[in-house]
Structure 1
Amino acid sequence: MGNYKSRSRSTCSQELHKKILQNYVNLEHKMQEDLNVELENLTEIQQVCSNGSADQLAKHLNSETVGERLDNGMTLLHLCCLAAVSGKNDSVKELDCNDTEGKSNVSYNTSVLQLMRSPREKGDHEDRTREHVNEQSTKTRNREAREQIRLLLKKGADPAIISKNGFSPLHIVSYKGDVEIVRLFLENCSHLDHTGAGSLTALHLSCLSGQLEVTQALAQRGANIEARDAVSYSPLHIACLYGNETVVEYLLSRGVDVNISGSVGDRPLHLAADRGDYKVVQLLLKKGARVRLQDEEGNTALHCCVRNGYLNILNLLLQPQYRNDAHIPNVYLDTPLHVACYEGWFECSKTLLTFGGSGLLLKENLWGETPLHAACTGGYCIDLVDFLLSQNSTSVNYQSPDGHTPLHSAAFHGHLKIVQLLLSHGADINLTARDRYVPFDKKEEQTPLMWAYDQGHDSIANILKHFRRPGMCDEYARGEYLSPLDTSYFPIPSPIGKLRTMIQEKIDVLHLRTLIPPHQHLSLAEIENLENIDSGSFGKVYKGRFNDKIVAVKRYRANMTYGKSDVEMFCREVSVHGSLDSPYIVKFVGACLQDPSQFAIVTEYVPGGSLFSTLHEQKRSIDTLTRFNIATDVARGMHYLHTLPQPIIHRDLNSHNILLSNDCRARVADFGESRFVRNIFEENMTKQPGNLRWMAPEVFTQCTQYSIKADVFSFGLCLWELLASELPFAHLKPAAAAADMAYKHSRPPLDLSFPMEVSVLLEKAWHKIPEERPDFEQIIEELEALCKSQIVAMQDGSGHMSPHLHHHHHHHPLHVCCTTCSCASPTGSTTPTDSSQHTSSELSGRTPATLLLPSFRWNGHVTALRTKWEQEASRGQTAFKSSHPTIEELRSRMNNNGYVEGNTYQYRIAPVFSKHRKQTLQHY
C-alpha cells in the first residue's frame, strides 16, 4: 500500500473488484465460445439437431445416440438450444436510405399515401418486409428446435450436463433469454441451481444479461434467489453490477436481502454506487439498504460513489432520512472527502465539506495525509487545491506525523502547477519529512526538493532550488542543505536509497565477475593513447589501442543518478554484450570490473562513426544500394539478437547506435538498455527505456509487457530515416514525436519517390498492433530482394552513362561509400579503409557494390548511378498503387509543415530528388 512518501493509487478492494469484473468478462467470452461453436465434422444426428426437424431427429434417436457429445463436451440438447437461440437479439442491418435506385417506377394503382412516402419511408418498408421474412424463418426454426428438445427430454436427455466451458443447456437459454425453452426445461429439470463455470447458476446468468422474463420464470419455480457464485455474489449483486434495473426491481419484490454481503463485504448498494446507477440506488434505498454499512476495507456507499465522482448519487445518499455520516473512515482512515480529493472531484468535495463541516479538513489518514495532501498527491484538479487553501481550517504547511507537507506530496508526484500554487500561498520549502518507521538516530530529513530529485522531476526541483520568497534572505530560500556559494544544478542523494543501491551494486558486480572469462577482464592501464571522441549521460567514449588494435572504451561514471543506477546499466550491458558474437554486432573485447571508478566496456573501434552522424552532421550522400545494404546489416544484427537461445530485446535501436565501417557496412551497438526476453515474464520491463524519437508506442505508453516487436518498430523508423536522410518528426521534440506516434498513430511521411516495396515494408514495421509487425527474418528477405533489383537496375543502366560525367563531382559531389572510399571518423578526420579488419565470415551474406559490380570503376566519388528507383521517379512515376491519392489531391490537403492532413498514414509533397541530383541527371 505504498511507503511513507506515497499512498497507493488503488486499494485492495479496488484491485479485487477489477479481478472480479475481468472474471465475469472471461466467463462471457467462454459463453460466446459455446454459442459460436464451429459445427464441423458432425455426425448425422448432430447435423439434424443443428438444422433439422423433430421428425428427422426421431428417425436417428435411440438409447445410444441420445448421449452423443462433441469434442467440447456439448450434448445434442446443447445443439438444439444453439439452433433455437441463434436468431435471438440479432439486429437487422439497416438499408441505406439514399439507395432509391429502381424505386422510381410507380404503378397507376398506387395509393396517394404510397406516392407521398419519402425514400426513407420506402426503405423502412422494405426493411420491415425483410425483417418480417427473417422473423418468420426464425420462428419456424425455433419451433422445430423446441420440438426436438421435447423429444430429447422424453428420451432422458439431461439439461444440467455442462460443456467443457462450464455451461449447461439451461445456462445457455437463460443467458440468451429464451423463456419458452427455459419453461420447457423447468418442467423436466430436477434441480434448478446446478452450477457451471464460476459457480454461476442459471439465475445468475439471466441477471447478468438482464433477462427479466427468464429471471421471473426461474424464481417462480423455486430457484435460489440468494445463491452465491465463486466470488460470493448473489443474483442481486450481479444485477446491480451490470445495472439491470428491471431485474433488480423484481428480485427486491421477491424479498431478497437488500443488504446481502459479497466477497469482501460489499453490498449491492456499494456496487450500484460505484457504477453510478442512480435508479438502482433509489430502488435499493427504498427497500431499506443501509448506507452506513461498510465492506471489509471499511468503505461505505459514500466512498464508492465519490471515487468516480457521481455527484447526483452523493446528494441522494446525504439526504437526512438515510442518516449518513461523512466522517466514517475506512481501514486506511480515508474519509469520503479524502477519496474525492485523491481523485480530484471538485463538486463532490465541496458537497462533502458542506455536509460534514470543516472538521473533515483536519482528518488524517493512515499516511498522515489531510484532504489537502490528498488533492496534492492526486494532482487532478488545481481548482480543488485552491478551494481547500481558501478554507480557514486549512494550513498550507500542515505537517503529517512524519513531517511531510502538501508541497512534499505535489513535488514527489510531479504536479508542477500545484507546486507553483502552493508556493504562491506561502508553502515553506525548508520543512523536512522523516520516515517514522526508521530508528530516530538513522532518520534522514528530506525537503520537498529532495523528494522531487528522488523522482526525477527536474522542472520542479529547479523551481524549488532557486525559489526565493519576496523579502526573504537568500539563505532562507536556499535552505541549510545547499552551500550559499553553490549555483549548480545537481542531484542530492538519499542516504537510505544510496546505501541500498550500493549493496545491490556490489552483488551485481561480484556476480558479473564470475560470468566474464578471464581474458576479458581488462584494466584501463592496458589501453594506450586514450583519446576522447564522444560523451553521453552514462560517461565518455575514448579511442585507444589494445594489443595492437584500435578499440573504443566506454567509461561509466560510478555514481547514482536517480531513477537508474549507472552501475546497474553497466552490469546489464556487460552481461548482454559479452554473450554476443556476430559480424553485425559491435565486437565485445572486454570490461574493466575491478575498481568502480574505472568501470568501462571495451569494444572494437568502428571508424565510420554513427549513422546519425553520417546523415545529419556530416550530411554525406549515400547511394541507394548502400542504404539498402546498411538496412540489411542492421536487420541481420537484430535477427541474431532475437533468435538467440535466450533472445535479447535491444530497446534502444536508433541511428546513434548504428555504427558504420569505412565501407559503410553497419553494426548494431550500445546494449545498455537491452534485456533478455525471459525477463518479460519474470518481472515488469522498464518503462520508457531508450530514445523517445525512435520509441515504439507500446513502450511510450508505460506498458511493461512489451515484446521484441518493439525493436521492429524502431527499425522501421531507422529505415525511413536512412532513406529520407531526415530525422523522424524533425519538427517535433522527441517526447512530442513519441506521443504523436502512440496516441495519434502518426507516422513519418511516406515520400512519393519511395519504391512500393519499401512503403509496404515500412507500414508493416510500424503497425500500431505489435503482433502485426513482421519479424526480422521476413524483413531481411524483402531487403535482400530490393538489393538484388537495385543491382540489376544499375547494371542495365551502365551503358547509358555519359563520358562527361567523369569530372562532375568537382561541382556536385555524390559520396558513394564503397571499399575504396574514405569516411570521416567521429573526430572529423578521415581514415583509410582497413580491409584486414574484415574477415570472409564478416562479408558472408553481404552484397557490397565492389564485389557485385566489378566492371565499374569505383574512384571514391562515383557519379550519378541511374538506378531503377531514380529512373521511375524521373519519369514521374510513383511507387504507390493507383488507389493512393494523386499529388494534386495531396497538395490540396497540405499544411504549413508540408504534411498532408486527414490520412492514417501521412504523405509528403516533396521533390523527387534533391537539387544536386536533379542537376546531375540533366547530364544524361
Structure 2
Amino acid sequence: MGNYKSRPQSTCSQELLRKILENYALLEEKLQEDLHMEDIDDLTEGRRVLCNGTSDHLINLNSDAFGEKLDSGLSLMNLCCLSTLGVKIDEVKEKKEEDEALSRAPCFIQLVKPSRDKNNRKEENQNTTKENKSELEKCKHQIKVQTNKEIRDQIRLLLQKGADPSIISRNGFSPLHLASYKGEVELVRLFLEKCNHLDHAGAGSVTALHISCLAGHLEVTQALAQRGANIEARDAVSFSPLHIACLFGNESVVEYLLSRGVDVNIAGSVGDRPLHLAATRGYYKIVQLLLKKGARVQLQDDEGNTALHCCVRNGHFSILSLLLQPQYRTDAHITNVYLDTPLHVACYHGWIECAKALLTYGGSSLLLKENLWGETALHAACTGGQCIDLVDYVLSQDAASVNYQSPDGHTPLHSACYHGHTRIVQLLLSHGADINLTAHDRCCNSEKKEEQTPLVWAYDRGHDDIANFLKHFRRPGLYEDYARGDYLSGLDTSYFPIPSPIGKLRTMIQEKIDVLYLRSVLPPHLHLSLSEIESLENIGSGSFGKIYKGKYNDKIVAVKRYRGNMSYGKSDVEMFCREVSVLGSLDSPYIVRFVGACLHDPSQFAIVTEFVPGGSLFSTLHEQKRSIDTITRFNIAIDVAKGMHYLHTLPQPIIHRDLNSHNILLNNECRARVADFGESRFVRNIFEENMTKQPGNLRWMAPEVFTQCTRYSIKADVFSFGLCLWELLASELPFAHLKPAAAAADMAYKHSRPPLELAFPVEVSVLLEKAWHKVPEERPDFSQAMSQHCEPDGNRKPVEARLHSNPHIQQLKS
C-alpha cells in the first residue's frame, strides 16, 4: 500500500507521451530548418542555381561540385528540395495585383454611359473578376508544372552524376526525408529510383515513411510503401508508422497502412499500441478503423493501461461508448499497476459522463475497488477536485460511503482537505462526513502511528480557509451548542493557530499581487495620502482597525484605517483590497460615496469615504434610542432597498454579504446609505472564490450562509434586509435574548423568525415573510420588494395613509 501523500500528480505513461510529443515537435523544427535558407546570396553560383529552381548551368559544373556540402551538412540534392518557387510566384502575385487594379478601375464604357443600370454594372464586374481569377489559376498551374519539371531535371542530372539521395545533413535528414515531409510525391519517386536504402534512418531513427505519416501525406506514404519501405519500421521510441499516424490523427494514412496488412496491435517501447494513442488523443474515426481491423481493447501497456484508461483520462466519452460495446468484451474492472480502474481515472480527472457510463457498464462494485493508495472512486473524485457534480453523483450511489476509510484511515474528506478543494469539503460535510475520523502516517523508524484528522491535513498543506472552517464546524443537529455560545468542534483546535506557516507565506505573496494590481487600476485622483488628511476625532473601531473623522480638501470625511495583521485566516489586506475595488466601482446616492484610498504604505492603508453625520442605524435605535416616526422608518427602508437594488443590478453585480444595522448610515435628514463593503464580492467571482465562509454578523446572517451547506447568492442579502426591516419597525434586535451564534442557529436549524407584530402593515408583513423564506429562490429581489410593497416617492401618500390609519401604529413611534 502506497503512502497517499506521496502519490504522483501524473503517471509515467502521461509523462512519457508528453516527452514523445515534445521530441516529435523538435524533429519537425529541424526538418523546417533544413528546408529554410535564410540568405542564398552567400551561396556559390551552383548552389544558387539549385535554390532558384533552374538547371541551365548544372551541366557545366565539375563532378567534384556534386559532392560538396554546406556547413549545415546540406548537399546539392538537399538544395533541390529547397526550391521555393519564389521568383515565379512573385510574378504571379504581380499579375494578380495588376488584374485586381484593372477590375477596380472604371472602364471607358462606364465613363461614356454613366446612366447605365447599376445591377448590370455589378454583374459585369463580377464576370470580369471571375475571368481574371481563372486566368490567374491557369497561370499558376502552368508555372507550377514548369517549375516541378525543372526540379525533376535537376534531380535526374544530380543522380546521373552520382549524388546520393540518402546522404544525411547535420540535422539528421536526407533529401528523401525532406521531400517526404514536404509532400512532393514526384520528387520522392525520383529519389526512390536511385535510392538503395529506402529505410535509412535520420534524426530520432525515423525513416521517410515515419516522416510522411507524421506530416499526413497519403500519396507519399503510398509511394514509399509500394516501393518496399518497411511499414513496421521502428524509430527511437519503437513507434511504427502506424503509431505516428494514429498519434497525429492522420486518418487516411492510417486507413492505407491498415489496408497494407500492418499489425494493428503492434507495440511501442513501453507496450503502447496504436489504439492507446488514438484513444488518448480522441480520434474517434481512427479508433473505429483500428477496432474494425482487430485491435484488442484489453491489451495493456507496461503501466497496465488499456484503451479504456487512455480515453477516459482525457474525457473522450464517444470513444468510451464505442469501446464499451458488447462485441469488444471490455472489462471495466481491469486495473493498471497503480490498481486504478478506468473509473478511478475518470474520477481523478473529473469526467462525470465517463464515470456514469463506466458505472452503468461495470456495476456498483466498481465503487468499492481500492487502488494502490487505498482510494475508492469517491476518494479519487475528491482528490482530483475537478467536478463537484461528479462527487455529488458518486455520493448518490448506494454503494458509496462518505466516511469510507482506506487502510491508512484517510477518508474522502481527508483527500479534499489535503488538496484544498473547499467546495467539495462543504459538499461532503452536507452529506454527513465525519470530521473526527483519523488517518495515520507510519513513522520511518517507529511503529508509532500519528493520528491525523482532516483538519490536520488541511493545516499542514496551508489551506487555512478549510482549516478555519473545520475548526468552527458543527453538525446541524447540535444547535444547542450555539445557544451556549460554544460553536467550536469537539476537538482541541488550539494547536492549529491560523494562519499556518505555508498558508501565511501563500497569503503574503497573494497580498503583494493584489496591492500592486490595485495601485495600477485605481484612477490617479483616487490615490490619497494620510498626510493630506487632517485627523479630527476617533468615531469607531473594529477588528480591522479604527475609523476617525477627518478633513480633506475642506470637506469632512471618514477615514477607515486598516491594520496589517492576520486574524483567523482572513487577511485585513485582502479585505482592504476588496473593499477598495468594490467602492471604486460604485456611484449611487444610496451608497456611501468613495473619496479615495491610501495604498502606498502598508502601515498606512486607509479607505476615505464621505462622512455621514447621523451615525449607524444600530446606534440610532439601540444606543441613542432616538424617536423616529413611522414614515421616516419607511424612508430608511426604501433607501436601503434602493441601494441594494443598485448593487444587484450593476453590469457586474455585487453581493454585500454583511448587511445589518451597523452598516446602514444615516445623514442629518435620516436618509440612509449602505456602507462597509469589506465582505462584498462581485457575483462574477462567486464560482472562482470560496463562497462558503461565514462572512459578517451572525445575528443578521441568512441560514444558507450560516450552515455553509450550499453556495449562496444575492438572495442572502434579501434575508438580511428582511431582518433589518423588522429591526427598524420593531426597534429591537432580532432575537435579542440570544447570543448572535444562537440566533443564527435558531433561524437555520429551527427555522425560527422574529414575531410579526399586529402593528406592522399587512404589506410589510407579507414582504418580511417572503424576504426571510427558508428557500433562497423563493425570496423576492429588491425590485420586486420596492414595486410590490414599497411604492416610490410619487406614490407614497396611500401607503402613509394606511400606516397612520393602523390602530397599533403608535406602538412604533417610541
**For the superposition of Structure 1 and Structure 2, which TM-score range results when normalised by the shorter chain?**
0.5 to 0.7
Q: How far apart are residue 55 of structure 1 and its match?
A: 2.6
Q: How far apart are residue 9 of structure 1 and its match?
A: 2.5
CA–CA distance in 2 between the matches of 1:445 and 1:87?
A: 78
CA–CA distance in 2 between the matches of 1:735 and 1:70?
A: 68
Q: How far apart are residue 48 of structure 1 and its match?
A: 1.1
1:72 aligns with 2:72: yes
Q: How far apart are residue 67 of structure 1 and its match?
A: 1.0
Q: How far apart are residue 71 of structure 1 and its match?
A: 1.3
CA–CA distance in 2 between the matches of 1:83 and 1:37?
A: 10
2:530 paired residue number: 618
CA–CA distance in 1 between the matches of 2:4 and 2:269?
A: 29
1:102 aligns with 2:14: no
Aligned with residue 482 of structure 1, among 492, 496, 518: 492
Does the CA-based 8 Å contact 2:53-2:85 persist in structure 1? no
Q: How far apart are residue 70 of structure 1 and its match?
A: 1.2
Q: Once the two structures are superposed, what CA deviation does each residue of 1:186-222 show, in whole Å capped at 9, x if it has no partner? A: 1101110011111110000000011111101100111
Does the CA-based 8 Å contact 1:236-1:248 persist in structure 2? yes
Q: How far apart are residue 263 of structure 1 and its match?
A: 2.2
1:330 aligns with 2:336: yes
Q: How does 1:852-863 map to 2 (within 5 A)?
A: none
Q: How far apart are residue 439 of structure 1 and its match?
A: 5.9
Q: How does 1:286-325 map to 2 (within 5 A)?
A: 286-325=292-331
2:287 paired residue number: 281
Whichever residue aligns with residue 421 of structure 2, its letter is: H
Does the CA-based 8 Å contact 2:349-2:386 persist in structure 1? yes
Q: Once the two structures are superposed, what CA deviation does each residue of 1:319-364 show, in whole Å capped at 9, x if it has no partner? A: 1111111000110011000111111111110000000000000011
Q: How does 1:134-173 map to 2 (within 5 A)?
A: 134-173=140-179
CA–CA distance in 2 between the matches of 1:619 and 1:147?
A: 85
CA–CA distance in 1 between the matches of 2:423 and 2:280?
A: 30
The alignment's TM-score, normalised by the length of structure 2, stands at 0.58
Residue segments in structure 1 that go unaligned for 5+ positions in a row = 494-559, 570-611, 622-690, 696-719, 744-924
Whichever residue aligns with residue 143 of structure 1, its letter is: K
Whichever residue aligns with residue 184 of structure 1, its letter is: L
CA–CA distance in 1 between the matches of 2:47 and 2:102?
A: 44
Q: Structure 1 residues 193, 561: CA separation in 2 closer, same or farther (over 3 Å shift)? A: closer
SS of the residue aligned with 1:339? helix
Whichever residue aligns with residue 57 of structure 1, its letter is: L
2:347 paired residue number: 341
2:561 paired residue number: none
Q: How far apart are residue 735 of structure 1 and its match?
A: 15
Q: How far apart are residue 126 of structure 1 and its match?
A: 3.9
CA–CA distance in 2 between the matches of 1:347 and 1:24?
A: 32
CA–CA distance in 2 between the matches of 1:455 and 1:735?
A: 27
Whichever residue aligns with residue 104 of structure 2, its letter is: G
Does the CA-based 8 Å contact 2:272-2:301 persist in structure 1? yes
2:570 paired residue number: none
Does the CA-based 8 Å contact 2:459-2:496 persist in structure 1? no
Q: How does 1:5-404 map to 2 (within 5 A)?
A: 5=5, 7-38=7-38, 39-59=40-60, 61-83=61-83, 102=104, 105=107, 117=123, 126-404=132-410
Q: Once the two structures are superposed, what CA deviation does each residue of 1:612-656 show, in whole Å capped at 9, x if it has no partner? A: 9xx8543469xxxxxxxxxxxxxxxxxxxxxxxxxxxxxxxxxxx
Instruction: Mark the structure with the bigger radius of gyration.
Output: 2
More helix by share: 2
Q: How far apart are residue 429 of structure 1 and its match?
A: 0.5
Does the CA-based 8 Å contact 1:4-1:435 persist in structure 2? no
Q: How does 1:430-579 map to 2 (within 5 A)?
A: 430-436=436-442, 438=444, 441-472=447-478, 478=488, 481-482=491-492, 490-491=497-498
Whichever residue aligns with residue 82 of structure 1, its letter is: L
Whichever residue aligns with residue 14 of structure 1, its letter is: Q
Q: Once the two structures are superposed, what CA deviation does each residue of 1:564-599 show, in whole Å capped at 9, x if it has no partner? A: 699xx9xxxxxxxxxxxxxxxxxxxxxxxxxxxxxx
Number of corresponding residues? 527
Does the CA-based 8 Å contact 1:98-1:120 persist in structure 2? no
CA–CA distance in 2 between the matches of 1:43 and 1:734?
A: 74
Q: How far apart are residue 62 of structure 1 and its match?
A: 1.7
The alignment's TM-score, normalised by the length of structure 1, stands at 0.52
SS of the residue aligned with 1:352? helix
Whichever residue aligns with residue 46 of structure 1, its letter is: R
SS of the residue aligned with 1:404? coil
CA–CA distance in 1 between the matches of 2:477 and 2:30?
A: 69
Q: How far apart are residue 119 of structure 1 and its match?
A: 6.6
CA–CA distance in 1 between the matches of 2:422 and 2:16?
A: 33
Q: How far apart are residue 130 of structure 1 and its match?
A: 3.4
Q: How far apart are residue 26 of structure 1 and its match?
A: 0.6
SS of the residue aligned with 1:434? strand
Whichever residue aligns with residue 292 of structure 1, its letter is: Q
CA–CA distance in 2 between the matches of 1:52 and 1:313?
A: 48
Does the CA-based 8 Å contact 2:52-2:85 persist in structure 1? no
Q: How far apart are residue 443 of structure 1 and its match?
A: 1.9
Does the CA-based 8 Å contact 1:314-1:348 persist in structure 2? yes
CA–CA distance in 1 between the matches of 2:404 and 2:147?
A: 73
Does the CA-based 8 Å contact 2:340-2:371 persist in structure 1? yes
Q: How far apart are residue 416 of structure 1 and its match?
A: 1.2
Q: How far apart are residue 414 of structure 1 and its match?
A: 1.3
2:762 paired residue number: none
Does the CA-based 8 Å contact 1:692-1:734 persist in structure 2? no
Pairwise CA RMSD of aligned residues?
Answer: 4.4
Q: Structure 1 residues 8, 161: CA separation in 2 closer, same or farther (over 3 Å shift)? A: same
Q: How far apart are residue 468 of structure 1 and its match?
A: 0.7
Q: Once the two structures are superposed, what CA deviation does each residue of 1:749-789 show, in whole Å capped at 9, x if it has no partner? A: xxxxxxxxxxxxxxxxxxxxxxxxxxxxxxxxxxxxxxxxx
Q: How far apart are residue 165 of structure 1 and its match?
A: 1.0
SS of the residue aligned with 1:47? helix
2:540 paired residue number: none
CA–CA distance in 2 between the matches of 1:306 and 1:52?
A: 51
Does the CA-based 8 Å contact 1:84-1:145 persist in structure 2? no
Does the CA-based 8 Å contact 2:103-2:125 persist in structure 1? no
CA–CA distance in 2 between the matches of 1:618 and 1:193?
A: 78
2:696 paired residue number: none
Aligned with residue 409 of structure 1, among 410, 415, 423: 415
Does the CA-based 8 Å contact 1:83-1:142 persist in structure 2? no
SS of the residue aligned with 1:445? strand
2:760 paired residue number: none
SS of the residue aligned with 2:450? coil
CA–CA distance in 2 between the matches of 1:242 and 1:86?
A: 30
Identity %, equivalent residues: 62
Q: How far apart are residue 403 of structure 1 and its match?
A: 0.7
Q: Once the two structures are superposed, what CA deviation does each residue of 1:827-854 show, in whole Å capped at 9, x if it has no partner? A: xxxxxxxxxxxxxxxxxxxxxxxxxxxx
Does the CA-based 8 Å contact 2:176-2:191 persist in structure 1? yes
Does the CA-based 8 Å contact 2:103-2:129 persist in structure 1? no
CA–CA distance in 2 between the matches of 1:12 and 1:92?
A: 51
Q: Once the two structures are superposed, what CA deviation does each residue of 1:502-560 show, in whole Å capped at 9, x if it has no partner? A: xxxxxxxxxxxxxxxxxxxxxxxxxxxxxxxxxxxxxxxxxxxxxxxxxxxxxxxxxx5
Q: Once the two structures are superposed, what CA deviation does each residue of 1:104-135 show, in whole Å capped at 9, x if it has no partner? A: 54859999999664977765654454344334
Q: Once the two structures are superposed, what CA deviation does each residue of 1:23-54 show, in whole Å capped at 9, x if it has no partner? A: 00011111111111222411111111111532
Does the CA-based 8 Å contact 2:85-2:147 persist in structure 1? no
Q: How far apart are residue 103 of structure 1 and its match?
A: 5.0
Does the CA-based 8 Å contact 2:199-2:230 persist in structure 1? yes
Q: How far apart are residue 436 of structure 1 and its match?
A: 4.4
Q: Structure 1 residues 479, 19: CA separation in 2 closer, same or farther (over 3 Å shift)? A: same
1:883 paired residue number: none
Q: Once the two structures are superposed, what CA deviation does each residue of 1:780-839 show, in whole Å capped at 9, x if it has no partner? A: xxxxxxxxxxxxxxxxxxxxxxxxxxxxxxxxxxxxxxxxxxxxxxxxxxxxxxxxxxxx
Q: How far apart are residue 68 of structure 1 and its match?
A: 1.6
Q: Structure 1 residues 346, 120: CA separation in 2 closer, same or farther (over 3 Å shift)? A: farther
